[in-house]
């Protein structure tokens, strides 16, 4: 067989493409040139009865022009097998499994498990803080010298002006509102009773705790969240220190000491505000106001307010620490942790006040 007979011949007539001759790797390029004048989309049948020789390259050539609607005719069984082996695999889009909607029971179980995990984390952190706070009274090896004094100054001394001003105004407003009602009954003297008991038992410790939660509680959350973001907490652990003992415990003891003292100061400023209203608006003499105050206000009322203040101090420190340690994200996460610390602390303080009221006055 000469070289001329080895060249493939291609003819196209009424949708039938006839291929004859040799269709191998050496002649496929010639076949492609002869096929170029024709439109492959018009091919309906490919007749390969005249093909004398074919290899894998020839089979790939035929598969490239045999679209889905083309029929193959005249190919031997062996050639058909070769065409089938040379046919490119169909690309299938990866099947994306549909997300099955969880059943109601599954969703409920997930919520319960998350809440159990959340409550467990809260209990562990609270017990950890309380444990190291007690241990810290006897073992101060991991405390920075002067940290308690520094925290007490920032939480207590610097907060006194704002606490005193607000409680002075609260006391004056409380006395003014009470006097407006009691005057009609000729019982203006009882303004002192309402002011003294209300300020000692409720308003002084509650308002002081709310102010401190917004001032110092947010600072605790912000500081701890920032230290977590900048990996300072990890550095403290690397140095062999316990972050709870090193950072949180001094803040807790400073809060426990300062908040009751601020409540006592707040009580004094509140009564002072009511005293000014009493001698100016209600026309009570200073002696009458003081005598009534001594008769009405007992030591147990002051102790009640101090007990509440101690519990509020623990709540503020714990909430600030919890929100700071559980912060996520960057600078925005620090802001969210600070905001959530204030909101959660205020809610917890009011809830604790309700519990105290049930225990003491029910």
Q: Across residues 283-301, what is the average pLDDT?
A: 89
Q: How confident is the model at residue 5 (pLDDT cuts 50, 70, 90)?
A: low
The pLDDT value given to residue 251: 92
Which pLDDT value is given to residue 123? 86
Asked which of 32-41, 106-115, 194-203, 262-271 is least confident by mean pLDDT, the reply is 32-41
Per-residue pLDDT of 187-216, as tens digits, reads: 778 888 889 999 999 999 999 999 999 999
Instruction: Please say if the pLDDT value at position 2 is more than 50.
Output: no
Is residue 96's pLDDT more than 60? no
Give the pLDDT mean for 326-346.
87
Mean pLDDT of the residues in the chain: 84
According to the model, what pLDDT value does residue 1 have? 43
More confident site: 7 or 176: 176
**One-letter-per-residue 3-state SS of the chain:** CCHHHHCCEEEEECCEEEEEEEECCCCHHHHHHHHCCCCHHHCCEEEEEEEEEECHHHHHHHHHHCCCCCEEECCCHHHHHHHHHHCCCCCCCCCCCCCCCCCHHHHHHHHHHHHHHHHHHHHHHHHHHHHHHHHCCCCCCCCCCCHHHHHHHHHCHHHHHHHHHHHHHHHHHHHHHHHHHHHHHCCHHHHHHHHHHHHHHHHHHHHHHHHHHHHHHHHHHHHHHHHHHCCHHHHHHHCCCCHHHHHHHHHHHHHHHHHHHHHHHHHHHHHHHHHHHHHHCCCCCHHHHHHHHHHHCCHHHHHHHHHHHHHHHHHHHHHHHHHHHCCCCCHHHHHHHHHHHHHHHHHHHHHHHHHHHHHHHC
pLDDT of residue 94: 60
Most confident of 141-150, 226-235, 309-318: 309-318
pLDDT beyond 80 at 334: yes
Identify the residue with better confidence: 223 or 72.
Answer: 223
pTM, two decimal places: 0.68
């Amino acid at each position: 067989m000469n070289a001329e007979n080895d060249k493939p011949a291609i003819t196209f007539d009424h949708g039938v493409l006839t291929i004859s001759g040799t269709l191998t790797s050496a002649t496929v390029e010639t076949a492609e040139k002869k096929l170029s004048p024709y439109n492959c989309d018009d091919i309906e049948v490919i007749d390969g009865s005249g093909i004398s020789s074919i290899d894998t390259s020839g089979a790939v050539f035929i598969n490239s022009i045999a679209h889905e609607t083309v029929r193959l005719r005249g190919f031997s069984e062996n050639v058909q097998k070769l065409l089938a082996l040379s046919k490119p695999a169909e690309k299938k889009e990866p099947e994306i499994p549909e997300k099955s909607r969880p059943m109601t029971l599954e969703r409920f179980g997930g919520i319960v498990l998350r809440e159990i995990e959340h409550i467990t984390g809260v209990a562990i952190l609270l017990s950890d803080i309380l444990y190291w706070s007690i241990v810290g009274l006897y073992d101060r090896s991991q405390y920075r010298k002067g940290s308690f004094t520094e925290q007490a100054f920032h939480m207590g001394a610097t907060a006194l002006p704002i606490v005193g001003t607000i409680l002075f105004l609260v006391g004056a407003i409380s006395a003014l509102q009470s006097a407006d009602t009691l005057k009609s009954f000729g019982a203006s003297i009882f303004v002192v009773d309402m002011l003294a008991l209300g300020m000692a038992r409720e308003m002084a410790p509650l308002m002081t705790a709310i102010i401190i939660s917004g001032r110092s509680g947010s600072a605790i959350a912000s500081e701890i969240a920032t230290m977590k973001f900048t990996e300072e907490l990890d550095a403290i652990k690397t140095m062999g220190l316990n972050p709870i003992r090193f950072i949180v415990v001094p803040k807790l003891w400073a809060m426990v000491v300062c908040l009751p003292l601020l409540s006592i100061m707040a009580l004094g400023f509140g009564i002072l505000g009511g005293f000014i209203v009493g001698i100016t608006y209600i026309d009570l003499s200073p002696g009458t106001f003081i005598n009534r105050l001594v008769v009405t206000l007992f030591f147990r009322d002051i102790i009640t307010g101090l007990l509440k203040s101690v519990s509020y101090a623990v709540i503020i420190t714990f909430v600030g620490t919890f929100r700071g340690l559980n912060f996520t994200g960057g600078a925005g996460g620090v802001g969210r942790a600070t905001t959530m610390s204030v909101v959660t602390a205020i809610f917890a303080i009011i809830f604790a006040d309700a519990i105290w009221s049930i225990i003491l006055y029910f």
